[in-house]
Chains A and B, each alone.
Chain A
């Protein structure tokens, strides 16, 4: 089992460009999450999903969108990249009865 996979690993965007960060899990978990982690900071929740077709905003959703058409996939979309979105993005998944979350390896995004 791969667990949680994320692509790409690294990306440099110009201001105003758009991109989609991919996240896939093979753990059959209903719950999926997107976090961002700025240098020296804790993780902040961007969006989350409790199951296919259901998404909700986290603490810092502005500038991002998500969709959850299947249990396995939870892509994160940046429509108009800004320098403030330079960060490391982690996708995570969790079971319904446990607060343990399993993280993907992260995507390092730089917006210049």
Chain B
């Protein structure tokens, strides 16, 4: 089983829609989580950290459910510019290194 798993999608949504992605992690000892965004043929960039209490940054909300071992990312009022691949990332409790999920692709249509 992969340490971090995501539904690869693609998720095709109209502009203005609300869309949510989930990510599951297998190691219950993992402590820190992040969402990175990767545009087509570009490098990943940090979108937001995920805190236990949940956190919001504009139209983006990240939440962590430790009991069920999943992380979510909610995007409200989707924009065309939100089209990208969203990578779920966990800090490995064994190595302290970042473990990346395979990514979820979002396509926002006009």
Binding site for B on A (CB under 8 A): 35, 40-45, 48, 58, 90, 99-101, 103-106
In the complex, are the beta carbons of A105 and B42 less than 8 A apart?
yes
What's the tally of chain B residues with a CB closer than 8 Å to chain A? 18
Residue in B8, B42, B98 whose beta carbon sits within 8 Å of that of A45 in the complex:
B98
Is B1 at the interface (CB under 8 A from chain A)? no
A101 to B99, CA, bound (A): 12
Question: Do A42 and B87 touch across chains, with their CB atoms under 8 A apart?
Answer: yes
Asked whether A43 lies within 8 Å of B91 as measured between CB atoms, the reply is no
Given contacts A40-B102, A42-B103, A90-B43, 13 further A-B contacts (CB under 8 A): A40-B103, A41-B102, A43-B100, A45-B98, A58-B97, A99-B98, A100-B46, A103-B44, A103-B45, A104-B43, A105-B42, A106-B42, A106-B43
Q: Which of A35, A42, A90, A99 is the one whose CB lies under 8 Å from B32? A: A99
Min CB gap A110→B, angstroms:
14
